[in-house]
Amino acid sequence: MDYKLILVFVEDEKADRVLDAARSAGATGATVIPNAVGQGKARQFGLFGLEVLSPRQILLMLVEQPRASAVLDAVCKAGGLDESVDTGIVLELDVSRAVGLTEHIKELLKEHPLK
């Protein structure tokens, strides 16, 4: 089976909604990296000259290739992710090899057979 790694960089308050949508679209789960911060093109400073960094979460989902497009579309819709500035970023990468997913995939296929 071929897999895709979907990485989602999203604001904290959108993470649960994005994860629920991904599961509904066929993702078996995700690894969540909380409290990630980043900088855009220009640094932003707030009160007392302190830099303002919006906390984000990074969601990593390993998805079977036939389900990847549906999961990515669901994630974008749920998180309001598009080409606008500051909405978040979604990446899809090819995975050349994955180990440890056989039982997860069997359970998923029982619940959501591939069409």
Instruction: Check whether 84 has a pLDDT greater than 90.
Output: no
The pLDDT assigned to 51 comes to: 66
Q: Which of 27-36, 42-51, 56-65, 78-87 has the lowest mean pLDDT?
A: 42-51
pTM for the full predicted model? 0.79
Count of CB atoms situated within 10 Å of the CB of 26: 20
The pLDDT assigned to 6 comes to: 97
Mean pLDDT within 39-48: 70
Across the chain, mean pLDDT equals 85
Domains, the chain: 3-111 (3.30.70.120)
For residues 19, 21, 24 and 28, what is the CA-based torsion angle, rounded to 10 degrees? -30
